[in-house]
């Protein structure tokens, strides 16, 4: 157990007056007791990141605290912060908290960051009229519920990597939302109430269970949407989705972490059989069989039945010659037919070979795309610091001050 002493605080701040200390930073000190800070009544900013704190009870007298970071400690409860009425920023991420009920009385709170804990439900935010940033990523929260029904001032909400199955109707109250992160959950559909959040610019729905195009049509109401992520959803496996999204939401600029214009430009027709059938039809038209005209041959055969006895020998000879000529013509036609058929077969075989190669190439390309998509989808949305959250939906600048 390592305790912080008031003497140490005064020495490091080069003063003997506790009231002269307004800001303190004691990070990576393995501290488990900071109760001495009760003497520093004027303290406004306190950073205790990366320590071994298991309680915040010692901070109760610090009534002027406005900014507090206790992330990466061993806290199981936030008891001790209830009376810090001046607090505007609280970062208690990466602890072992099971509840956030202690913060609901902090009426001046603007940014609340509680990612990577064991919180199972969202507390009521009715009294937090100034709350604009709420980060609850990587907590076992199954539903949003109605506790955000009066969160009129929230502009940034992150519930990525939770266990949310339904967004719920309370989202309709978050009319000031600019950024909504719900990646890596079990969401199957978007509520119609989302249409009221018309100011949303950044929407991350990656790695959920959205299957149908009809479930996305509500996005047409988000006239200011610029950045949309759907990677990892069954509906995102369709190559034509980017074109549909662009048509549905004309304001979109980034889709699945890529510029939308580049995505739609690279969409390829995956049905080469269509082009092949056109090629075959054109080749067939070129090799169409000529019609045979046997009218003259028939007329000559009729003329062989002459009644003139003097021309009988000539007629027989002529008939024989015509017959021989007709046989020759039949053989010629037969050969012509065979040549046409052979040529047509070659064209068809060449086309089939080309189609097979094209289909094989497309299959390989699709597999590459799927592998690439899975690789992207596997990267979880990570909150690296209170100032920024990175994920497939793009970087986010969390305004904490």
**pLDDT at 266 (0 to 100):** 64
For residue 30 the two structure tokens come to 């393995």
399 is written with which tokens? 């305004």
The pLDDT tens digits of the residues spanning 213-243 come to 999 999 999 999 999 999 999 999 877 899 9
* Average pLDDT score over residue span 172-189: 96
Query: Does residue 372 register a pLDDT over 50?
Result: no
pLDDT at 5 over 90: yes
% of the chain surpassing 70 pLDDT: 65
Helices (H) and strands (E) in the chain, counts: 6, 15
Chain centre to alpha carbon of residue 170: 23
Q: Which of the four pLDDT bands, split at 50, 70 and 90, describes residue 355?
A: low
pLDDT attached to residue 28: 96
- pLDDT band (50, 70, 90) for residue 285: very low
- Using an 8 Å Cβ cutoff, are 171 and 191 in contact? yes
3-state secondary structure of 396: strand
Q: Specify the residue for token string 């989808």.
A: 377
d(CA 50, CA 31): 9
Res 180: pLDDT: 97
Q: Please tell me the distance from the alpha carbon of residue 34 to that of residue 69, in angstroms, as a whole number.
A: 13
> Mean pLDDT across the stretch 40-55?
97
Least confident of 20-34, 143-157, 173-187: 143-157
Mean pLDDT computed over 122-138? 95
Phi, psi at residue 233, to the nearest 5°? -90, 145
């Amino acid at each position: 157990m390592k305790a912080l002493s008031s003497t140490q605080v005064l020495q490091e701040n080069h003063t003997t007056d506790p009231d002269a200390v307004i800001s303190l930073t004691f990070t990576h000190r393995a501290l488990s007791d900071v109760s001495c800070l009760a003497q520093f009544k004027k303290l406004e900013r306190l950073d205790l990141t990366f320590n071994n704190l298991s309680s915040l009870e010692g901070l109760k007298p610090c009534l002027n605290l406005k900014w507090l970071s206790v992330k990466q400690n061993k806290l199981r409860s936030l008891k001790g912060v209830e009376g810090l009425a001046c607090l505007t920023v609280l970062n208690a991420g990466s602890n072992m908290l099971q509840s956030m009920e202690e913060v609901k009385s902090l009426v001046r709170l603007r940014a609340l960051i509680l990612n990577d804990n064991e919180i199972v439900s969202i507390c009521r935010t009715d009294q937090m009229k100034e709350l604009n940033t709420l980060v609850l990523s990587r907590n076992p929260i199954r539903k949003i519920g109605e506790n955000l029904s009066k969160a009129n001032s929230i502009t940034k909400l992150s519930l990525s990597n939770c266990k949310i199955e339904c967004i719920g109707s309370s989202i309709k109250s978050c009319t000031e939302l600019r950024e909504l992160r719900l990646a890596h959950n079990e969401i199957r559909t978007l509520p119609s109430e989302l249409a009221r959040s018309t100011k949303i610019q950044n929407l991350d729905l990656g790695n959920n269970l959205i299957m149908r195009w009809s479930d996305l049509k509500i996005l047409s109401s988000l006239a200011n949407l610029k950045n949309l992520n759907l990677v990892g959803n069954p509906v995102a496996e369709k190559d034509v989705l980017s074109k549909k999204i662009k048509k549905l939401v004309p304001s979109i600029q980034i889709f699945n972490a890529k510029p939308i214009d580049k995505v739609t430009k690279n969409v390829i027709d995956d049905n080469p059989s269509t082009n092949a059938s056109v090629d075959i039809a054109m080749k067939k038209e070129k090799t169409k069989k000529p019609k045979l005209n046997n009218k003259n041959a028939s007329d000559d055969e009729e003329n062989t039945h002459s009644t003139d006895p003097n021309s009988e020998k000539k007629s027989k000879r002529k008939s024989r010659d015509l017959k021989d000529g007709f046989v020759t013509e039949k053989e010629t036609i037969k050969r012509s037919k065979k040549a046409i058929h052979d040529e047509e077969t070659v064209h068809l075989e060449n086309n089939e070979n080309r189609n097979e190669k094209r289909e094989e190439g497309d299959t390989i390309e699709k597999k590459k795309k799927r592998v690439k998509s899975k690789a992207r989808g596997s990267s979880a949305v990570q909150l690296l610091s209170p100032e920024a959250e990175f994920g497939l939906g793009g970087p986010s600048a969390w305004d904490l001050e």
